[in-house]
Amino acid sequence: MSKIDGNRIAETYREDLKGEVEDLKKEGVQPAIAPVLVGDDPGARVYYRTKKKLAENLGIEYRGIKLDGDTSEEELVGKVRELNGDPSVHGLFIELPLPEGLDIGKLRAEINPNKDVDCINPINSGKLLSGGAVRASYEDLKDDPEVLLPATPYAVMEILKYSDIDLAGKEFLVVGGGAVGLPLSLLALREGYATVTLCEYQVSDLAEKTRRADIVCSSVGKKNFITSDMISEGTVVVDVGINETENGITGDVDYENVKGKASRITPVPGGVGPMTTTLIMSNTVKAAKLLQG
- What is the secondary structure of the chain as a DSSP string? -EE--HHHHHHHHHHHHHHHHHHHHHTT---EEEEEEES--HHHHHHHHHHHHHHHHHTPEE--EEE-TT--HHHHHHHHHHHHT-TT--EEEE-SSPPTT--HHHHGGGS-GGGBTT--SHHHHHHHHHTTSTT--HHHHHH-TT----HHHHHHHHHHHHTT---TT-EEEEE--STTHHHHHHHHHHH-S-EEEEE-TT-TTHHHHHHH-SEEEE----TT-B-GGG--TT-EEEE---EEETTEEE-SB-HHHHTTT-SEE--SSSSHHHHHHHHHHHHHHHHHHHHH-
164 & 249 share domain? yes
Residues 11-64 pLDDT 10s? 999 999 999 999 999 999 999 999 999 999 888 888 899 999 999 999 999 999
> Residue 135: inside a domain, yes or no?
no
100 & 171 share domain? no
159 & 256 share domain? yes
158 & 84 share domain? no
| Mean pLDDT (whole number) for 115-143 | 86
What was the pLDDT predicted at 231? 97
Q: What is the CATH number of the domain that holds 241?
A: 3.40.50.720
> Residue 260: inside a domain, yes or no?
yes
Question: 80-89 — which CB contacts under 8 Å span 24+ positions?
Answer: 80/36, 80/107, 80/110, 80/111, 81/110, 83/34, 83/36, 83/115, 84/110, 84/111, 84/112, 84/115, 86/34, 87/291, 88/30, 88/32, 88/61, 88/63, 89/32, 89/33, 89/34, 89/63, 89/115
> Residue 233: inside a domain, yes or no?
yes
What was the pLDDT predicted at 131? 66
Q: What is the pTM of this model?
A: 0.95
What was the pLDDT predicted at 216? 98
Domain span including residue 80? 27-118
Domain count, the chain: 2
CA dist 53 → 31, 56, 57 (Å):
15, 5, 6
Q: What is the CATH number of the domain that holds 32?
A: 3.40.50.10860
> Residue 134: inside a domain, yes or no?
no
What was the pLDDT predicted at 132? 53
> Residue 284: inside a domain, yes or no?
no
> Residue 199: inside a domain, yes or no?
yes
Residue 134: pLDDT over 80: no
173 & 263 share domain? yes
Residues 177-206 pLDDT 10s? 888 999 999 999 998 889 999 999 999 999
Farthest CA pair distance, the chain:
57
